[in-house]
Amino acid sequence: MFNVVEWKDNKVVMIDQRLLPTKEKYNTYKDYKGVAKAIKDMVVRGAPAIGVAAAMGSALGALQSTAKTPRAFKSDFNRVCKHLAATRPTAVNLFWAIERMRGVFEANSAKSTGEIKKILIKEAIKIHDEDIEINKRMGKNGAKLLKMNSTILTHCNAGALATAGYGTALGVIRAAVEAGKNVKVFADETRPFLQGARLTAWELKKDGIDVTLITDNMAGYMMQQGHIDAVVVGTDRVASNGDVANKIGTYSVAILARAHKIPFYVAGPTSTIDMNIKDGSEIPIEERSEKEVSHFAGVRVAPAGINIKNPAFDVTPSRLVTAIITEKGVVTAPYKKSIKKLFSK
């Protein structure tokens, strides 16, 4: 297999996802600013993986501090957290992980800087390891929803590469395959960054899971032809009312699924649920570089000087979501109530 993000010899090692599927290269970071840049530049991407990278980045930042007083150490750590939080705005796991690291820092602030550094490293590794466990639980919960011999459409990459391992949406698919359900996958290419073509297809093929790649505009036709039994996607942030932010194009897939009476499932850990926001309109949508749209694999495909838009995510209203799969269970509408209940467990 492969390691997405790993703490190794007081450094952070990440597979460079920009180079997949043609090159399997690992980058080593010994500076928190390098980790922040790697998140921004998509070396590591996918909501839970970004969270893990940020947690490790903050531990790295603490380790780099040469502060001599607790006050100076805390101010260094705050600066590190602020820098990491400014990388990508949509996936709430980034902020969730940073807040968790801040909480651990606060809870241990009476200890020596040396001790706090060790505790922060331990916590970042714990976040990593927990993520894999959570995904496996989520997978088991979601696999029950998938029928024997069914074909699942997925969008973007919500797989092992988007997490510490196993995946969210692809974790559900993996668990269904492990349960002997003979599930097949249709992967949307996912323009403009091609997470579906480059990453989902790569990791499913590596696992021997039957995957068929389609371009984004083929999804409706495939549904109309009866090739798709269910949609399973990941998420970057779920609002407290069940509205779901995910990779741009997810909303179109949800509309198509509703039109064809196909269930539309969203898989995400509870750390992706943002109880501080009322609905999806409060989710910040990242705008990425125009070049991702004007160019394809580095080659210009649109005339220079034209207007370009590149929102990286969209919001699917909860009315289009059949169920949200979490590690704590599967919830359905009315989401305000069922999501709230998840946090009382």
Give residues in contact with ligand MRU (CB under 6 A): 45-48, 91, 156, 158, 162-163, 168, 195, 234-236, 246-247, 312
Q: Count other Cβ atoms within 10 Å, centred on residue 201.
A: 21
Q: Tell me which amino acid residue 22 is.
A: T
Q: Which residue is nearest to ligand MRU (CB)?
A: 234
Taken in order 228, 234, 239, 241, is the CA torsion positive or negative? positive
Distances (CA, A) of 79 to 39, 58, 67, 285, 326: 17, 10, 13, 24, 32
Q: Which is nearer to ligand MRU, 23 or 261 (CB)?
A: 23
Q: Which is nearer to ligand MRU, 195 or 294 (CB)?
A: 195
In the set 236, 243, 274, 314, the catalytic residue is 236
Q: Which is nearer to ligand MRU, 119 or 153 (CB)?
A: 153
Omega prior to 334 cis, within 30 of 0: yes
What does the DSSP assignment read for 66-81? --SSHHHHHHHHHHHH
Are 136 and 171 in contact, with CB atoms under 8 Å apart? yes
- Strands laid side by side in the 264-267 sheet: 211-214, 184-188, 151-154, 230-233, 264-267, 323-326, 329-331
Distance of closest approach, residue 296 Cβ to ligand MRU, in angstroms: 17
Q: Which is nearer to ligand MRU, 61 or 165 (CB)?
A: 165
Nearest CA among 256, 212, 238 for reference residue 323: 238
Are 328 and 135 in contact, with CB atoms under 8 Å apart? no
Distance of closest approach, residue 221 Cβ to ligand MRU, in angstroms: 22
Which residues have a Cβ under 8 Å from the Cβ of 167 and sit 6 or more positions away? 135, 139, 158, 159, 160, 161, 173, 174, 203, 234
Q: Which is nearer to ligand MRU, 61 or 234 (CB)?
A: 234
Distance of closest approach, residue 106 Cβ to ligand MRU, in angstroms: 28
CA distance 336 to 332: 10
| Axis crossing angle, helix 92-107 with helix 113-143, rounded to the nearest 10 | 140
Q: Tell me which amino acid residue 230 is.
A: A
279 burial via Cβ count (<10 Å: 0-12, 13-18, 19+):
middle
Vertex 148: Cα angle to 142 and 152 (nearest 5): 60
Instruction: Verify whether residue 279 is a known catalytic residue.
Output: no
Q: Which is nearer to ligand MRU, 158 or 320 (CB)?
A: 158
Distance of closest approach, residue 226 Cβ to ligand MRU, in angstroms: 25
Q: Which is nearer to ligand MRU, 98 or 312 (CB)?
A: 312
By annotation, the residues acting in catalysis are: 236
